[in-house]
């Protein structure tokens, strides 16, 4: 299921969301210009390699910088491929603007980075001896989804589902869609712990950690109530007259 759009109008241009997407795209263009050996070195130095922090002696022997925790930040801006980049940036485009609206720009940026760091730490703790570098903005974006889950539970998400190469569109409440997404991450993460070969190389627990961090932290980053006015029903478009929840 691919989310196409939500029904929550935004009040302000989501400049931080735009900037995050731009930085990720720029970083990917730099990645694409590198030869394979240099790209692999980039991922190992700036991606999260759990064994690097669990086994510092091994890390020093391999040649990792000592006491350097910046990969928990830099890994958020690297991606393993075009599809990886597109999926993350599209999701941030759909859900990030409304969360940024409720938090304000600088609060949203801090929230995004903190959720990404939390996701990286959870991935480290659940895969402490892994020597495979993990990259991607998925954990930070999962935090945005966790905030959206509680801020806009009654929003409608327009989904695209291809059936035999034919596109089908339907609506689903944000609460249902995001709860289903979260449960699939937990299930996939449990399967990964049981047998990593069964679920591929996706950092499922980073997604779970980011989402939970978003759920727990979002309220501390919201703008004061006086600084945000909910939409009136007549501001939500023609269908807004039937909504019982004001965003």
- Identify the pLDDT of residue 206: 94
pTM above 0.75, yes or no: yes
Burial class, 111, CB count within 10 angstroms (exposed 0-12 / middle 13-18 / buried 19+): buried
- Identify the pLDDT of residue 200: 46
Q: How confident is the model over 79-115, as pLDDT tens digits?
A: 989 999 999 999 999 999 999 999 999 999 999 999 9
Q: Which helix (H) or strand (E) holds 233?
A: none
The span from the CA of 70 to the CA of 140, in Å, is 15
- Identify the pLDDT of residue 197: 45
Q: Select from 21, 3, 15, 159 the least CA-distant residue to 94.
A: 3
The sheet carrying 166-173 orders its strands as: 2-6, 156-163, 166-173
**9-154+170-224 homologous superfamily:** Rhomboid-like (1.20.1540.10)
Spell out, as residue ranges, where the chain has pLDDT lower than 50. Answer: 196-200, 242
The span from the CA of 73 to the CA of 78, in Å, is 10
């Amino acid at each position: 299921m691919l989310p196409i759009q939500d029904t929550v109008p935004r009040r302000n241009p989501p400049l931080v969301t735009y900037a995050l997407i731009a930085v990720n795209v720029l970083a990917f263009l730099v990645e694409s210009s590198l030869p394979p050996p240099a790209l692999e070195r980039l991922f190992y130095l700036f991606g999260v390699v759990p064994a690097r922090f669990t086994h510092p002696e091994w890390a020093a022997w391999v040649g990792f910088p000592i006491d350097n925790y910046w990969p928990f930040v830099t890994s958020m801006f690297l991606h393993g491929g075009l599809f990886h980049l597109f999926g993350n940036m599209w999701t941030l485009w759909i859900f990030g603007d409304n969360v940024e609206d409720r938090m304000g720009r600088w609060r949203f940026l801090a929230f995004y980075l903190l959720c990404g760091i939390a996701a990286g730490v959870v991935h480290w703790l659940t895969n402490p001896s892994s020597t495979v570098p993990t990259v991607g903005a998925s954990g930070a974006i999962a935090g945005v989804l966790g905030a959206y889950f509680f801020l806009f539970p009654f929003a409608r998400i327009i989904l695209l589902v291809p059936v035999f190469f034919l596109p089908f569109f339907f609506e689903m409440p944000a609460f249902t869609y995001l709860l289903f997404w979260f449960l699939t991450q937990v299930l996939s993460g449990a399967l990964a712990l049981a047998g990593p070969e069964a679920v591929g190389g996706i950092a499922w627990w980073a997604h779970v950690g980011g989402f939970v961090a978003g759920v727990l932290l979002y309220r501390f980053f919201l703008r004061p109530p006086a600084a945000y006015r909910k939409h009136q029903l007549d501001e939500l478009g023609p269908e807004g007259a039937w909504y019982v929840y004001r965003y």
